[in-house]
Chain A
């Protein structure tokens, strides 16, 4: 609420900047807009040159996503995206949830019960995200294949959890660091055990932080392509991988179908961000505003 008031003030004070911001936003948003538009076009409308602005919208592409698409030869092929969407949602949510549980506990530990060499440990945790995925993917692929994790839900969830943990720990630690220690001492004086201090006093205060971290993790995991490409199987494939494999092949390049998949793929990210926007704003500005 407060943010909206501020932005209105800015718009009144600096009309030039506001106009510039609007133009830049439109440029950024145009590709997204074009994809959504294309999702409602027929095969021929999507290919038309010059591009068509006015056309008869159709939902065929969206139906095709979850059932069958036509090949060039006119045969119907199962697209299988109901499974792929389920996989993406299931894998992202499960791995982020596990990473939050482990990461929050670890962050609290790093923040409140520092070990000898605390900063070194934190740095080592961060280094796991420093190597480009392409460097580590081959050893991971071989390891997963050897222990039978390749192509399984457990395997990919395990990997994404590890992938999400470093920034979950770092972000949550910074949120815990911001909290007043006095409040925890007060809870101890009031008869709380250490467990209760964590669950009743600290955790409720970092809910905005949890939300921000969760959204960040969900978006990263949702969009991840490389690990998913090599480590998921036919049954566990996620949407980004499946989308890539839809181009060409039997179905050919069907822009309308791809645009429909992309549009559907955008919805969860937009929805989560929208639902949590207040929490996110508080999470992002946490600590920057004097209490």
Chain B
């Protein structure tokens, strides 16, 4: 079985702990994205799985076998590098065949495999060219081809699409997904691009400072961020994170199991918001952070009990929608409205929190949820 399991994996460089006790399981056929800002330890984690970096502590298992201390070749892992890492002095054909020579295959077998891969990835016409003569997209396909040409235990991708322009990136995203779907191998993709992670991954592991902050499906990462960091990191435009004080639950406001109506002091005003019932168990007067996505707010004409007043400060058209920046005293809001909303800078408006769209994070920055 092609699986990857990391157990308390740790890497220390001098004084810096790049990766701290990371646990991660990748099932056969599953694609897991390591997502995080630069320097969060995602590439180091990938390189340790590959065997290019020696772990300081913890275990790596590939296909159930402990591979600590094994060379990359012994692990039989295929990797696609950020800058493609094609062999510049070899032709595309020789590049594709290179991994097969190490496996000791016959010349006919090698030729057959190279042909299959070059057909799959539409590389037939460039087989005799050298990497320097190829376009970016072709280089990318050769890099992918070199990874899938043999039968590795698992696949690793390091920022696979970061060098491509937007259109090519969309096409390659689909193509890589398609290729991986047919192979049933555990795959780890490192990226700092959340769109790439959200579209390609079965699960996303969001990393910060060497720690996996949350590992969940793209939907759950977006809809149920485990903490403030994940909430702020995932989603564009960024989630509004507003400091607030919990006033108390209104007895009459409980609406079944799904949510509870709770009163918060936000800036100078107060609002009664429909949030997770678990929030009701927090002590009154506790400091919290409210998290609401720009699409979780709406403009309303009259003040309501779940709205706050604000003034439009800046308007950024984004095409189909428009991003508004609003201020109220020290508070800043971002809200996405329809492009035909007709909002004007300086206009005073009321911002309504759509029911059930507000997350509450406690003083330890964790999301309060039942």
A residues near B (Cβ < 8 Å) are 180, 182-183, 185-193, 201, 204-205
B87 contacts A by Cβ under 8 Å: yes
Task: Give the shortest distance, in Å, between B151 (CB) and chain A (any CB).
Answer: 13
Supplied contacts A182-B83, A188-B52, A190-B102, 16 more A-B pairs, CB within 8 Å: A180-B85, A182-B81, A183-B88, A185-B47, A185-B50, A186-B87, A188-B51, A188-B72, A188-B73, A189-B50, A189-B73, A189-B79, A190-B99, A190-B146, A191-B102, A193-B73
The answer to whether A187 and B52 touch across the interface, beta carbons within 8 angstroms, is no
Query: CA separation between A190 and B99, bound complex, in Å?
Result: 4
B78 contacts A by Cβ under 8 Å: yes
The answer to whether B89 and A192 touch across the interface, beta carbons within 8 angstroms, is no
B82 contacts A by Cβ under 8 Å: yes
Query: CA separation between A201 and B95, bound complex, in Å?
Result: 11
| Known pairs A192-B73, A204-B89; A186 contacts B79 (CB<8 A) | yes
Query: CA separation between A190 and B50, bound complex, in Å?
Result: 11
Query: CA separation between A185 and B156, bound complex, in Å?
Result: 13
Query: CA separation between A221 and B88, bound complex, in Å?
Result: 33
List the A side residues contacting B52 at CB < 8 Å: 185, 188-189
Query: CA separation between A180 and B103, bound complex, in Å?
Result: 24
List the A side residues contacting B50 at CB < 8 Å: 185, 189
Majority secondary structure, A binding face: helix
B residues near A (Cβ < 8 Å) are 47, 50-52, 71-73, 77-79, 81-89, 98-99, 101-103, 146
List the A side residues contacting B81 at CB < 8 Å: 182, 185-186
Query: CA separation between A201 and B87, bound complex, in Å?
Result: 7
Pick the residue among B83, B84, B98 that contacts A187 (CB under 8 A).
B98
Most buried by B among A180, A183, A193, A205: A183
Task: Give the shortest distance, in Å, between B84 (CB) and chain A (any CB).
Answer: 8
Query: CA separation between A193 and B72, bound complex, in Å?
Result: 10
The answer to whether A192 and B102 touch across the interface, beta carbons within 8 angstroms, is yes
Query: CA separation between A15 and B242, bound complex, in Å?
Result: 68
Pick the residue among A182, A188, A191 that contacts B82 (CB under 8 A).
A182
The answer to whether A191 and B89 touch across the interface, beta carbons within 8 angstroms, is no
Please give me the residue from chain B that is nearest to A179 by CB atom: B88
Please give me the residue from chain A that is nearest to B73 by CB atom: A191
List the A side residues contacting B86 at CB < 8 Å: 183, 186
| Known pairs A182-B81, A182-B82, A192-B73; A187 contacts B87 (CB<8 A) | yes
| Known pairs A182-B83, A183-B85, A205-B88; A189 contacts B77 (CB<8 A) | yes
Task: Give the shortest distance, in Å, between A207 (CB) and chain B (any CB).
Answer: 8
List the A side residues contacting B88 at CB < 8 Å: 183, 205
